[in-house]
């Protein structure tokens, strides 16, 4: 079946929904999502969304800007960061006006709390001097993402936005650098649909499921990354993968940074508050890359706690916070600890380990979410990307907590506005012949395969090797081993056989296609990580432990090269206000 | 430890009627039901079909009926399902079925069309008539407290499909939609309470709730839904007077 829409948005998380609200009446817009909109991964964000509202204490967007640049280890593009931090205040007020239920302070204003890496100068007259934590994260208990997703979806219902839920997008139709639509499988029926469009936005979220331990939903299979990469469009800064310090031990389920924002403390097996050593000024509120490395170091040096299965964890201690704070401000995560580990955080500390959390890299865009494919800013006409799948880049080498919920509403909106302009000025570019060829062939191959490999086995092996060799600590040898393994798994993937041969709601088939996406995404991550011979933000190379601004203050662009090694190019970092300086906390 | 999962299977493409299939698996008492379902799909039978996403009870995808009760497969451990510590075993199979009272698409996957229609019927969005101030609308912590519990809802449909009133009446809005109505009617910023009260002031609205409390038992987020519905009834009575 062929549909025609002025705008097609893929993904119904915060970025996609916010963009949809910008498509003006009189123009057609379809939002495609592989789950129901309210199931999107935005809903799992817990701790907050930041803006220098100054509701609790003096703050300014410039402080937020400085923190984000420093947090990014100076790889973030400062023009984009400036836009985001400045626009944050408007964006939060807008959400409030849309109906988002925020926690409030005694004055009736949106309540704010501290979060990792968010600071202000101790002495306002000395802006580059010592910094102290600031209350900048706006929140709704520890369900901030949940209520943000609900609010945006509600506003889409109000606007009559047209959704195609449980439509799994498999391909981008692009020719001569002009986007013409997408191909999708309707999961309920197995039918292949072509969506002919003037503009397409990818707001497809992250790829956490490339790794074994992750906070990400099972649907976080890097679909948008892989589809784009396969179509010859580069991916930017894929080596930068965020590991959140506090995932529930063995499960990876997120325990929000808000737990530490409210005063929680990380401890090793001797009960020591080890972050005092690694980040003497802001300690447990240091950025995530710093804390995850500290935790790996503690475990390596024998100060972790070994569980019955031989794996190690550390402790997140909330016992001193009291029932009032825990039950009012952190109810959700307290429930997780109780349900999954049988631990009552009021009485005993929670076993935690770093968990794969967020993709800093992604589809390269400019500040208007327009996809650009090189260092000259050449656009793919009609193609947009926003949210986790995109790389603007506001997060650089390490994202600060609460900046992702901000990123999606700021750049989702900007992208939506640009799409609205584009559809007014352009006609439909014609569809190429056999636009759904790749999808049809892939589906046929998977349904008819008589190979011996199971999807779950290849996926598991991929997740293991990426967790072991391309996570918090990396070396050239380890990454090369992962690359060889990925090559092997790609070969074996050709022999994958699925049990379900039907058309109706065939999740066996969907998972097999997702596995192809995981493999391509992992390839881009591993090659980018091998190539960058320095340590910056979340990318830590034990064989190159220092940041090297002389050679590496630049963004990676990786291009797929069918059956050969990928091609790597670069583009410069935009530096407007803050020159790179030593990053310590 | 060995455990038997007795799972409801039905593929309308190939099966003339539904049936139950037993899977015996090796599992840990600390495994979640969803972990076992994944294991079966991954290793034994790829045709087994169910929805899931976040795996920690916030996306609302994997509501199903487990041992006769509606719950999220990701938020229940095997050890909480009749496991005997003494025998280190299960006396009975763990029975997994789709949410009741909904059309079945395949196996544990049900059709939510009607659920969403009722959700949309209560105007599930903030409606304001006065122009917004430059900054945020003010709300006291007490104002927010009134709607915080209702805004926890993850729209998993465990409540609505557990309610005998929805089973016996297709038109009843059901607990999830009514809870959403509450969330806006009691939002101090909203200015359309009357519109929504008109929608729910019918025999298929709040008055179909007979305070059976199944919804409260079923809610994985521990929302006291019946209390919220009673507040709506109270508001309607006050409006009458």
What is the Cα–Cα distance from A122 to A424, expressed in whole angstroms? 50
Q: Which residues of A touch B61 (CB under 8 A)?
A: 35-36, 39
CB of A29 within 8 A of CB of A7?
yes
Of A21-35, A118-132, A502-516, B43-57, the least confident = A118-132
- Which A-chain residues 6-35 have CB contacts (< 8 A) with chain B? 35
Percent of chain A with pLDDT over 90: 96
- What six digits make up the tokens of A292? 């995850």
| Residue contact A39–B61, C-beta within 8 A | yes
Beta bridge partners of A355: A244
The closest CB to that of A218, out of B53, B137, B138, belongs to B53
pLDDT tens for B107-161 read: 999 999 999 999 999 999 999 999 999 999 999 999 999 999 999 999 999 999 9
pLDDT at B15 over 90: yes
Which residue is closest to B142 within chain A, CA to CA?
A104
pLDDT at B241 over 90: no
What is the Cα–Cα distance from A143 to A136, expressed in whole angstroms? 16
Sheet of strand A49-50: strand arrangement: A49-50, A137-138, A112-113
Q: Give me the pLDDT at residue A563, please.
A: 80
Q: Which residues of B touch A155 (CB under 8 A)?
A: 125
- Which B-chain residues 32-51 have CB contacts (< 8 A) with chain A? 32, 41-43, 45-47, 49-51
Q: Kind of pairing, strands A178-186 and A167-175?
A: antiparallel
| Residue contact A340–B32, C-beta within 8 A | yes
Nearest CA of chain B to the CA of A109: how many Å? Answer: 6
The closest CB to that of B136, out of A36, A93, A456, belongs to A93
- Which B-chain residues 201-240 have CB contacts (< 8 A) with chain A? none
Q: Kind of pairing, strands A379-385 and A192-202?
A: parallel
CB of A558 within 8 A of CB of A527?
yes
Q: Which residues of B touch A217 (CB under 8 A)?
A: 53-55, 59
What is the Cα–Cα distance from A402 to A47, expressed in whole angstroms? 7
pLDDT tens for A45-77 read: 999 999 999 999 999 999 999 999 999 999 999
Cβ-count burial A412-425 (b if 16+ within 10 Å, e if not): bbbbbbbbbebbee
Q: Give me the pLDDT at residue B240, please.
A: 86
Q: Give me the pLDDT at residue A496, please.
A: 97
| Residue contact B105–A188, C-beta within 8 A | yes
Which of A47, A146, A356 to probe the B interface (max B CBs under 10 A)? Answer: A146
Size of interface A-B (CB pairs under 8 A): 153
Question: With bands split at pLDDT 50, 70 and 90, how would you rate the model's confidence at A129?
Answer: confident
Which of A21, A33, A36, A88 to probe the B interface (max B CBs under 10 A)? Answer: A36
The closest CB to that of A500, out of B47, B124, B128, belongs to B47
CB of A224 within 8 A of CB of A12?
no
- Summary mean pLDDT of chain A: 97
Residue A195: left (phi > 0), alpha (psi -120 to 50), or beta?
beta
What is the Cα–Cα distance from A259 to A46, expressed in whole angstroms? 10
* Torsion sign over Cα A139, A140, A143, A145: negative
Q: Which residues of A touch B135 (CB under 8 A)?
A: 93, 109
Q: What is the DSSP letter of A376?
A: T
Helix (H) or strand (E) holding A555: strand A554-559
Asked if B14 is an interface residue toward chain A (Cβ–Cβ < 8 A), one would say: yes
Widest CA span in chain B:
66
Give the number of other CB atoms < 10 A from CB of residue A214: 27
Asked if B55 is an interface residue toward chain A (Cβ–Cβ < 8 A), one would say: yes
Which of A500, A503, A511 to probe the B interface (max B CBs under 10 A)? Answer: A500
Q: Give me the pLDDT at residue A127, please.
A: 80
Asked if B68 is an interface residue toward chain A (Cβ–Cβ < 8 A), one would say: no
Q: Name residues whose C-beta falls within 8 Å of residue A78's C-beta, 6 or more positions apart in sequence.
A: A65, A69, A574, A575, A576, A577, A578
What is the Cα–Cα distance from A277 to A183, expressed in whole angstroms? 52
Q: What is the 3-state secondary structure (H, E, C) of chain B?
A: CEEEEEEEECCCCCCCCCEEEEEEEECCCCCEHHHHHHHHHHHHCCCCCCCCCCCCCCCCCCEEEECCEEEECCCCEHHHCCEECCCCEECCCEEEECCCCCCEEECCEECCHHHHHHHHHCCCCCCCCCCCCCCCCCCCHHHHHHHHCHHHCCCCCCCHHHCHHHHHCCCCCCHHHHHHHHHHHCCCCCCCHHHHHHHHCCCCCHHHCCCCCHHHHHCCCCCCHHHHHHHHHHHHHHHHC
| Residue contact B54–A44, C-beta within 8 A | yes
Question: With bands split at pLDDT 50, 70 and 90, how would you rate the model's confidence at B84?
Answer: confident
Beta bridge partners of A174: A179
Asked if B114 is an interface residue toward chain A (Cβ–Cβ < 8 A), one would say: no
Nearest to A190 by CA among A368, A15, A447, A431: A447
Nearest to A28 by CA among A155, A165, A195: A195
pLDDT at A381 over 80: yes
Asked if A141 is an interface residue toward chain B (Cβ–Cβ < 8 A), one would say: yes
Q: What is the pTM of this model?
A: 0.97
Q: Decide if A288 is catalytic.
A: yes
Q: Give me the pLDDT at residue A529, please.
A: 98
| Residue contact B55–A155, C-beta within 8 A | no
pLDDT tens for A557-570 read: 999 998 889 999 99
Asked if A461 is an interface residue toward chain B (Cβ–Cβ < 8 A), one would say: no
pLDDT, average across residues A89-98: 98
pLDDT at A110 over 90: yes
Q: What is the DSSP letter of A13?
A: S
Burial of B110 (0-12, 13-18, 19+ CB in 10 A): buried
- What six digits make up the tokens of A577? 């206000």
Higher pLDDT residue, A398 or B82?
A398
User: What are the DSSP calls for A185-227, one per residue?
Assistant: EETTT--EEEEEEEEEEE-----GGGSSSBSS-TT-S-HHHHH
User: What are the DSSP calls for A216-279, one per residue?
Assistant: S-TT-S-HHHHHHHHTT--EE-TT-EEEEEEEETTT--B--THHHHTT-EEE-TT---THHHH-
pLDDT, average across residues A436-456: 97
- What six digits make up the tokens of B193? 């309470």
- Which A-chain residues 224-263 have CB contacts (< 8 A) with chain B? 251, 253-254
| Residue contact B59–A217, C-beta within 8 A | yes
Q: Give me the pLDDT at residue B83, please.
A: 73
Q: Give me the pLDDT at residue B82, please.
A: 78
Nearest to A403 by CA among A58, A9, A92, A184: A92
Question: With bands split at pLDDT 50, 70 and 90, how would you rate the model's confidence at B89?
Answer: confident
Q: Which residues of B touch A251 (CB under 8 A)?
A: 56
| Residue contact A104–B55, C-beta within 8 A | no
Higher pLDDT residue, B240 or B54?
B54
Q: Give me the pLDDT at residue A188, please.
A: 98
Asked if A159 is an interface residue toward chain B (Cβ–Cβ < 8 A), one would say: no
What is the Cα–Cα distance from A154 to A37, expressed in whole angstroms? 10
Q: Kind of pairing, strands A131-133 and A119-121?
A: antiparallel
Q: Count of alpha carbons within 13 Å of A322, Cβ hemisphere only?
A: 3
Catalytic residue, chosen from A212, A288, A413, A536, is A288
Nearest CA of chain B to the CA of A36: how many Å? Answer: 8
Q: What are phi and psi of A350, to 5 degrees?
A: -95, 130
- Which A-chain residues 174-193 have CB contacts (< 8 A) with chain B? 188
Q: Name residues whose C-beta falls within 8 Å of residue A310's C-beta, 6 or more positions apart in sequence.
A: none
Q: Name residues whose C-beta falls within 8 Å of residue A480's C-beta, 6 or more positions apart in sequence.
A: A530
pLDDT tens for A192-209 read: 999 999 999 999 999 999
CB of A132 within 8 A of CB of A122?
yes
Nearest CA of chain A to the CA of B159: how many Å? Answer: 17
- Distances from the Cα of A536 to the Cαs of A208, A237, A382, A396, B67, in angstroms? 20, 11, 33, 9, 51
Q: Which residues of A touch B42 (CB under 8 A)?
A: 454-456
Q: Count of alpha carbons within 13 Å of A204, Cβ hemisphere only?
A: 31
Which residue is closest to B125 within chain A, CA to CA?
A154
Q: Give me the pLDDT at residue B90, please.
A: 75
Q: Name residues whose C-beta falls within 8 Å of residue A153's C-beta, 6 or more positions apart in sequence.
A: A12, A17, A37, A38
What is the Cα–Cα distance from B218 to B208, expressed in whole angstroms? 18
| Residue contact B57–A508, C-beta within 8 A | no
The closest CB to that of B139, out of A40, A108, A217, belongs to A108
What is the Cα–Cα distance from A75 to A79, expressed in whole angstroms? 12
Q: What are phi and psi of A364, to 5 degrees?
A: -70, 130
CB of A357 within 8 A of CB of A216?
yes
- Distances from the Cα of A238 to the Cαs of A71, A232, A363, A522, in angstroms? 17, 15, 9, 9
The closest CB to that of A43, out of B41, B59, B120, belongs to B59
Give the number of other CB atoms < 10 A from CB of residue A112: 28
CB of A334 within 8 A of CB of A327?
yes
């Amino acid at each position: 079946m062929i549909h025609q829409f002025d705008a097609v948005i893929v993904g119904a998380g915060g970025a996609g929904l916010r963009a949809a609200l910008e498509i003006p009446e009189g123009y057609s817009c379809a939002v495609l999502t592989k789950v129901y909109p309210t199931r999107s991964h935005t809903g799992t964000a817990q701790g907050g969304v930041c803006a220098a509202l100054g509701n609790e204490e003096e703050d300014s967007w410039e402080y937020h800007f400085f923190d984000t640049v420093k947090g990014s280890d100076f790889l973030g593009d400062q023009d984009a960061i400036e836009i985001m931090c400045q626009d944050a205040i408007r964006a939060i007020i807008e959400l409030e006006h849309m109906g988002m239920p925020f926690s409030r302070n005694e004055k009736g204003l949106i309540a704010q709390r501290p979060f990792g890496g968010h600071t202000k100068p101790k002495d306002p007259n000395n802006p580059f001097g010592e910094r102290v934590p600031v209350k900048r994260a706006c929140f709704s208990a520890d369900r901030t993402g949940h209520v943000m997703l609900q609010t945006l979806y509600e506003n889409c219902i109000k606007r009559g936005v047209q959704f195609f839920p449980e439509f799994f997008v498999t391909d981008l139709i692009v020719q001569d650098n002009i986007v013409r639509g997408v191909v999708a499988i309707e999961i309920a029926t197995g039918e292949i649909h072509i969506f002919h469009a003037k503009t397409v936005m990818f707001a497809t979220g992250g790829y956490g499921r490339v790794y074994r331990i992750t906070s990400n939903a099972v649907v976080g299979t890097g679909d948008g990354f892989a589809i784009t990469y396969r179509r010859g469009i580069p991916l930017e800064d894929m080596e930068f993968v965020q590991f959140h310090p506090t995932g529930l031990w063995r499960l990876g389920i997120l325990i929000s940074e808000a737990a530490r924002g409210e005063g929680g403390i990380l401890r090793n097996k001797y009960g020591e508050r080890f972050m005092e050593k690694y980040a003497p000024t802001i300690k447990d509120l240091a950025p995530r890359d710093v804390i995850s490395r500290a935790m790996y170091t503690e475990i390596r040096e024998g100060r972790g706690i070994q569980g019955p299965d031989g794996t190690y964890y550390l402790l997140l201690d909330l016992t001193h916070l009291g029932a009032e704070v825990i039950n009012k401000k952190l109810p959700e995560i307290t429930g997780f600890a109780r349900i999954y580990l049988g631990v009552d955080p009021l009485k005993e500390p929670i076993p935690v380990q770093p968990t794969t959390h967020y993709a800093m890299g992604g589809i390269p865009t400019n500040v208007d979410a327009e996809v650009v494919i090189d260092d000259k800013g050449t656009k793919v006409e009609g193609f947009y990307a926003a949210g986790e799948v995109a790389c603007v880049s506001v997060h650089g080498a390490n994202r600060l907590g609460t900046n992702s919920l901000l990123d999606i509403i700021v750049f989702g909106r900007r992208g939506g506005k640009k799409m609205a302009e584009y559809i007014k000025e352009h006609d439909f570019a014609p569809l190429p012949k056999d636009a759904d060829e790749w999808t049809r062939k892939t589906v046929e191959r998977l349904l008819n395969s008589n190979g011996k490999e199971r999807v779950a086995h290849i996926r598991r092996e991929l997740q293991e090797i990426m967790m072991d060799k391309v996570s918090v600590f990396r070396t050239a040898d380890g990454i090369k081993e992962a690359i060889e393994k990925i090559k092997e798994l790609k070969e074996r993937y050709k022999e994958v056989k699925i049990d379900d041969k039907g058309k109706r709601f065939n999740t066996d088939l969907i998972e097999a296609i997702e596995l192809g996406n995981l493999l391509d995404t992992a390839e881009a991550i591993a090659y980018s990580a091998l190539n960058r011979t320095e340590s910056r933000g979340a990318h830590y190379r034990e064989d190159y432990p220092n940041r090297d601004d002389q050679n590496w203050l630049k963004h990676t662009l990786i291009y797929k090269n069918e059956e050969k090694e990928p091609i790597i190019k670069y583009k410069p970092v935009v530096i407007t206000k803050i020159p790179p300086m030593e990053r310590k906390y | 430890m060995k455990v038997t999962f007795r799972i409801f299977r039905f593929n309308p493409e190939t099966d003339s009627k539904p049936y139950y299939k037993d899977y015996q698996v090796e599992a840990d008492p600390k495994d979640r039901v969803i972990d076992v379902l994944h294991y079966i799909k991954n290793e034994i039978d790829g045709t087994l079909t169910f929805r899931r996403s976040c795996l920690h009870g916030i996306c609302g995808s994997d509501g199903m009926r487990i041992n006769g009760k509606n719950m999220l497969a990701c938020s229940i451990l095997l050890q909480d399902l009749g496991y005997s510590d003494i025998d280190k075993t299960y006396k009975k199979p763990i029975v997994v079925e789709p949410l009741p009272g909904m059309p079945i698409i395949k196996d544990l996957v049900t059709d939510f069309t009607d659920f969403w229609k009722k959700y949309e019927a209560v105007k599930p969005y903030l409606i304001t008539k006065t122009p917004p101030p430059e900054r945020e609308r003010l709300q006291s912590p007490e104002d927010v407290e009134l709607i915080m519990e209702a805004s926890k809802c993850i729209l998993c449909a465990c409540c609505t499909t557990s309610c005998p009133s929805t089973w016996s009446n297709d038109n009843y809005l059901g607990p999830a939609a009514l809870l959403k109505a509450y969330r806006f009617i009691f939002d101090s910023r909203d200015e359309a309470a009357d519109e929504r009260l008109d929608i729910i002031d019918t025999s298929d609205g709040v008055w179909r709730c007979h305070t059976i409390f199944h919804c409260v038992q079923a809610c994985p987020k521990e929302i006291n839904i019946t209390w919220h519905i009673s507040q709506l009834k109270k508001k309607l009575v006050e409006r009458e007077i």
